[in-house]
Structures are given as C-alpha cells and as structure tokens.
Amino acid sequence: MLQFILKRLGLAVLVAFTVSFISFSLLFLSGDPAAALAGETASGEDIEAIRRLYGFDRPMLVQYGDWLMSALRGDFGESYYFKLPVASLIGDRLGVTMLLGVCGISFALLTAVPLGVVAAIRPNSIIDRIALFLSVAGQAMPSFWFGLILIVVFAIQLGWLPPSGAATWKHFIMPTIVLGYYAMPAIMRLTRAGMLDVLSSDYIRTARAKGANETRVLFRHALRNAIIPVVSLAAVQMGFMLGGSIVVESIFALHGAGYLAWESIARNDLPTVQALILIFSMFYIVFTFLADVLNAWLDPRMRSS
C-alpha cells in the first residue's frame, strides 16, 4: 500500500511540474508579453524597457525557475489589470469556488448514486429509463444553456430564486444544480453498471443464502463493492468541476476563482490566468491522487498488496 501511494505521489509530482511548465509557457505562446503589457500605442523603446523591467529578456528556463520558486512561496506576481498581488486576488475568491465544488459534487452523488442503485435493481423499469434520460440529457446539454433555462424558469418566471450573486445560500442552489448535473451522468452510469455486475456475483448469492434481507444485501454487500470505483470517479469529477465552475460562475455572476479566470482571460491578464491554471491543475492532480488512494483504501485487495 505504502509503495503504491509513493508511486502515485511521484507520478503526481511529475505531472505537477509538467503542468506548471506548460502554464508558464502560456505567457510566451500568447505573443510577446512585453508588447501586450505596454499597450498598443507604446513605442519600441517602451516595450524594451518593460521587457527588462519584468525580466522577459532573460532565458526562458531561468524565468520559469524564478516564477516557480515565487509560486511555491505563494507569490504569483501582480495582476496586470487589478495591479494587486495575484495571490490575494485568488485567495479572496477561492472560497466561493470550493464551496460550489463541494455542493456540486454532493448534489451529483446524492442524486446519481440512488438513481444508479434503483436503476440497477430494476433494469428497464420506468426509473431506469428516467435515469437514462437524465444522464443523456445531462451530457447533451451544455452547462450555460441549462443554467440559462434555470434562470429563466426559477428566477424570472417563478421568482423563487435569485438569478445571480452569492449573498445567501439561495444564490448557490442553481449553480450547485448546474455544476452537479455536469458530473451526474458518469457517476450514475458507473453506479448502475457496478451494481448490476455485483448483484449477479456469487457472494451476493452467499449473502442471501445466509438469510440477509434485501436491504442488507443491497447496501452492505453490494453497494460497498460497487461504490469503490464510483468514489474515485467522484474525486476525479471534483477536479473537472473546477473547470466547469468557470462557466457556472460566469452564468450566475458568482465572484469565485472561476469567474476571475473568465474575466482575466478576457482582459489578457496573464499572471492571473497563469496562476489560476496552475492552481486548478494542482487541485485536479491532488484529487486524482486522492482518488487513487481512496480506491486502494476501500479495496482490501489493493490495501494489503
């Protein structure tokens, strides 16, 4: 187990370095940063001055090392637009995004797992079909469109929920649904397939042969095994959700890190974009790593080998 975790950890660190380098290179891939910074009316001399001021004239690897060391210390430079430290900009907004992520994944799990279980108990039943429809719809419908429909129906037509902002818990309901719905189809289908598979296994027959009732058979014996891959999928989905939150936060004007990313891309605020990509990727890497560890911990076969 320890060996497995160390291996995964090593891999995660490797991926983290690669990602950090890519996000750093973005600065150069998107054109001459000094020119962009100087503005359209700047002269060649101004651009050169800025290039030296920001250190863009040094070799790229040196710049990367410099940037990475600062990033590790929590210093991501200064936002071109806000003229404020990027770290504090993001720090102020990350809480909203994380809250949204936790709500979103909880919503996804709380709807997808029960639906998947019921669908597996009664394959081809009405509930199975509804579940299938929801999951196909969830995959076919872009988040922004789904979000807009919700706003039109629940905020504008019915007036039940506020259309945007983050002032109260009510503001989080629609974003949670939209973000959670994004992860739901995959979780539901994996739960259903896992349960179908497990329910036809020999040890389920053994549980019944012992005299266990159906509830016990379903939850203690079947779900406990079927949920193992679902847990790691959920952890991975949690990483994906950070990407999804960029869209969701901008639809509902939630001032989180996702919304900041959206604005910063539009404003060409490279240090902020870079830092956000790095942070989002790190979250993703951490969640993927957690998924592996959770998987190993839940499955005794992996735990002891």
Partner 1 sequence: MTDPLLSVRNLTMDIPVGGGTLHAVRGIDFDLNRGETLCIVGESGSGKSLTSLALMGLLGKGIQRSADRMTFDGIELTKASKRQMRALRGGRMSMIFQEPMTSLNPAYTIGDQLAEALLLHRTVTREQARARAVELLEKVGITAAESRLSQYPHQLSGGLRQRVMIAMALMCEPELIIADEPTTALDVTIQAQILRLLYDLGREMNMAMILITHDLGVVARVADKVAVMYAGELVETGPVAEIFNTPSHPYTRGLLRCIPLPGKTERGKSLGTIPGIVPSLVGSVEGCVFRTRCPHATMECRGAIPQHHDGEHAFRCIFADGKRHSDKELTA
Question: What type of residue sits at position 296?
Answer: A
Select from 83, 159, 202, 215 the one that contacts partner 1 (CB under 8 A).
Answer: 202
User: Cβ(282)–Cβ(16) under 8 Å?
Assistant: yes
Nearest-5° angle of CA 263, CA 268, CA 272? 70
One of 11, 36, 127, 212 touching partner 1 (CB under 8 A): 212
Measured from the CB atom, the residue of 7 and 210 that comes closer to partner 1 is 210
Those residues whose C-beta lies under 8 Å from the C-beta of residue 174, and which sit 6 or more positions away, are 147, 150, 151, 154, 155, 161, 252
CA 232/CA 205 separation, integer angstroms: 27
Q: Which stretch binds partner 1 (CB under 8 A): 55-63, 73-81, 202-210, 260-268?
A: 202-210
Q: Which stretch binds partner 1 (CB under 8 A): 6-14, 182-190, 235-243, 292-300?
A: 292-300
Q: Quick one: which of 173, 184, 207, 230 contacts partner 1 (CB under 8 A)?
A: 207
In the complex, the smallest distance separating the C-beta of residue 202 from partner 1, rounded to whole angstroms, is 4
Identify which of 204, 194, 185 has the alpha carbon closest to the alpha carbon of residue 230. Answer: 194
Minimum distance of partner 1 from residue 195's CB (angstroms): 14
In Å, the largest CA–CA distance within the chain is 85
Residue with tokens 């994380």: 98
Which one of 8, 51, 171, 221 is in contact with partner 1 (CB under 8 A)? 221
> Measured from the CB of residue 210, what is the shortest distance to partner 1 in angstroms?
4
Positions in 1-40 near partner 1 (CB under 8 A)? none
Shortest distance, position 88 Cβ to partner 1, whole Å: 46
Q: Which two tokens stand for residue 46?
A: 């101004």
Tell me the CA distances in angstroms from 195 to 49, 145, 191, 219, 228, one per residue in order.
Answer: 64, 32, 6, 10, 11
Q: Which member of 2, 72, 126, 209 binds partner 1 (CB under 8 A)?
A: 209
Least distance in Å: CB of 111 to partner 1?
24
- Least spacing, CB of residue 284 vs partner 1, in Å: 28
Show the DSSP H helices in the chain as ranges. Answer: 2-29, 33-38, 44-54, 60-72, 86-121, 126-140, 143-150, 173-199, 202-210, 214-216, 224-251, 257-266, 270-298, 300-303
Q: In this chain, which stretch among 159-167, 178-186, 200-208, 258-266 interacts with partner 1, using CB under 8 A?
A: 200-208
Q: Provide the minimum distance between the beta carbon of 87 and partner 1 in the complex, in angstroms, as a whole number.
A: 44
Output the six-digit token pair for 90. Answer: 């993001």
Q: Which is nearer to partner 1, 157 or 215 (CB)?
A: 215
Which of 47-55, 221-229, 254-262, 270-278 is the region at the interface with partner 1 (rule: CB under 8 A)? 221-229
Q: How far is the CB of 296 from partner 1 (least distance, A)?
A: 13
Cβ contact 237:294 at 8 Å: no
Q: Is 191 in the site for partner 1 (CB under 8 A)?
A: no
Pick from 105, 94, 102: nearest CA to 255: 94
Contact residues for partner 1 (CB under 8 A)? Answer: 201-203, 205-213, 221, 224-225, 228, 298-301, 304
